[in-house]
Amino acid sequence: MSIKDDLPTVTVVDYGTGNRGSVASMVRRAGARTVLATTPEDVLTADRVVLPGVGAFDSAAGALWRSGLAEPVIEVARTGKVPVLGLCVGMQLLADGSEEGDLPGLGLVPGHVRRLDSQCDEPPDRIPHMGWAHVVPRVRDELLAAILEPRFYFAHSFRCICDSDDDVVATARYGCQFPAVVRRGRLWGAQFHPEKSGRNGLQLLRNFVAA
C-alpha cells in the first residue's frame, strides 16, 4: 500500500455549481485525498463531506436539489457519523431558507438567511462584503484549533441568523455581527472561503480532515 493510499479522504459535493475545484485543491494541500461526489452513493459512503457554494442561494439550492445530492447530504449530517462542512453559500444552504430566494435549504441548522443590512443597527456602507475579516470564537472548537489569529476571506451579501445561539461557534462583523462558524454535532458551516484564506484556511481544513 502506498503512502497516498493511507491518506484520509474528503468527499466534495459536486452539484454542478460552486467552487468545488479550488476547494478540492486546498483540501489536498491539507493532507487528504479528494473525491468529487456526483451520485447519492458517493455521499452516503463518504468519510468526510464538504459542501461548497458560491453565488445566489436559489441557484445553488436548485442545483443541489435537482442533482439528487441534497437528501444524502441531509442523511449523513443527521446521522452524525461523519464530519460535514458547508462553505460560504454551502453554509447558508444548511439553514431552512433564505430571503434571497424561495427554495428551501437543507434544514440542518434551524434559522434563516438575511441580507447583511437586514435587521442591522449599523448597516454596512457597501454590499457585498468582500475581503479579510477577523473571526471571534465564542467557544473552543476543534475546527479553529491552532489558529492563533483567526482571520479569513469573505465574499457574501447575506448572513445566517440561527434560531439558537448555541449553534454559533464564532462571529465576525461587517456592519452587524454575524455567524462566521456554526456547528451542530459533527456538522459545521463556515461563511468565509478557507480556500482563499492562506495558512489560516489551510489549518482549518487540516482540522476538519482530522475531525
How far from 104 is each of 19, 63, 107, 128, CA to CA, in Å?
21, 12, 8, 23
Instruction: Assess whether 75 carries a catalytic annotation.
Output: no
Residue in 100, 129, 162, 193 annotated catalytic: 193
Examine the residue annotation and report whether 112 is marked as an active-site residue of this protein: no
C-alpha cell at 190: 463556515
Cα dihedral sign, 84-116-129-152 = negative
Annotated catalytic residue within 41, 71, 88, 142:
88
The answer to whether residue 193 is catalytic is yes
Q: Which residues are catalytic?
A: 88, 193, 195
